[in-house]
Amino acid sequence: MIATEVYADFLDEEYLRTYIAGGGAAVKLVVAADDEQSRHFSENVRQRALLDGYVVARVDAVNTRIHMMDQVFFEVARQVDWDGLAASAVRSALAAAGYPVADDSADITVEAVAGRYDVDPHELSRDVNRQLQQRIGRDFAMVAEFRVAMLRLCQALLATGQVTEAERAAVSDWLRGELRQISLLRSALIFRRVGRHNARQLLFSLAHWVSVQGHAGLVLELDVRRLGFARRPRPEERVGNYYTKAAAPEFLTDPGRGIDAYQALKLRIFDEVRDRRRDNPYSSLVRLGTP
């Protein structure tokens, strides 16, 4: 076992500040001795990640159906400052067009920036829109629907009338899974809801988007302790989501539906060679506790 503080420091130094910030990606499965230690570790990593410039989101299987990718994306999206990311993109586009705006300037509308530089608002709007199209519309590391959504959020901040407030609100609701009618987004050129068929690509696009806007990356914590409940408690004692037998402890023992059926996953998290007296912090599966 590895002490909580020791492992949090290790993740910060070896992954957050270096490997992930440099463009890498990693998945870590962490098993804590008890709930209190789990909460302590979660907060430790969160604070370190925020200080290192990451966007941080946490998804708990108690409140989110964590086996459904679209539900995971929606929960992450509710924790993301979409307008802040869009504002960063607009500032970058303005600077590229020759109209830099200070980071502490709250007013980045075309009218305000044009007045500051004493230029024609229509010409400035054309210049900055051209930059946004190049920077977002042609960034193929993000899927098409995500690119369109980010472009609309950016254009809404310019306040030229190109994107109405209703469209901006609809895009935000679409990202968070709160949009009732997809027809509200036809004018924004988004025609499909977020579902299990595209949520994974949208999450990957978000990870790229936050890095493009100057963040170190995306840290996503998935709390899957609820999957360890073999049986649901009595109805009056139930809180949040519970999961089927396939997601319970039989995952480790059932040869048909358990981990033995997924060799790639098993080889990733099982210890083939392990020192009995010392844990390897670089391994995919780490146990927290008193050494």
Residue 278 has pLDDT above 80, yes or no: no
Residue 102 has pLDDT above 80, yes or no: yes
Mean pLDDT of 257-269: 67
Range from 148-157, 166-175, 279-288 carrying the lowest mean pLDDT: 279-288
Q: How many domains does the chain have?
A: 2
Q: Are residues 262 and 280 in the same domain?
A: yes
Q: Are residues 185 and 275 in the same domain?
A: no
Residue 269 has pLDDT above 80, yes or no: no
Closest among 241, 257, 244 to 71, alpha carbons compared: 241
pLDDT of residue 275: 63
Q: Are residues 90 and 157 in the same domain?
A: yes
Name the average pLDDT for the chain: 89
Mean pLDDT of 196-202: 94
Q: Are residues 252 and 230 in the same domain?
A: yes
Residue 220 φ then ψ, to 5°:
-120, 120
Domain boundary among the residues 191, 212, 233 is at 212
Residue 165 falls within a domain, yes or no? yes
User: Within 13 Å of residue 97, how many CA atoms lie on the same side as its CB?
Assistant: 26
pLDDT of residue 276: 64
Range of the domain at 26: 4-53+222-287
pTM: 0.87
Where does the pLDDT of residue 226 fall: very low under 50, low under 70, confident under 90, or very high at 90 and above? Answer: confident
Beta strands (DSSP E) in 144-235 are 217-223
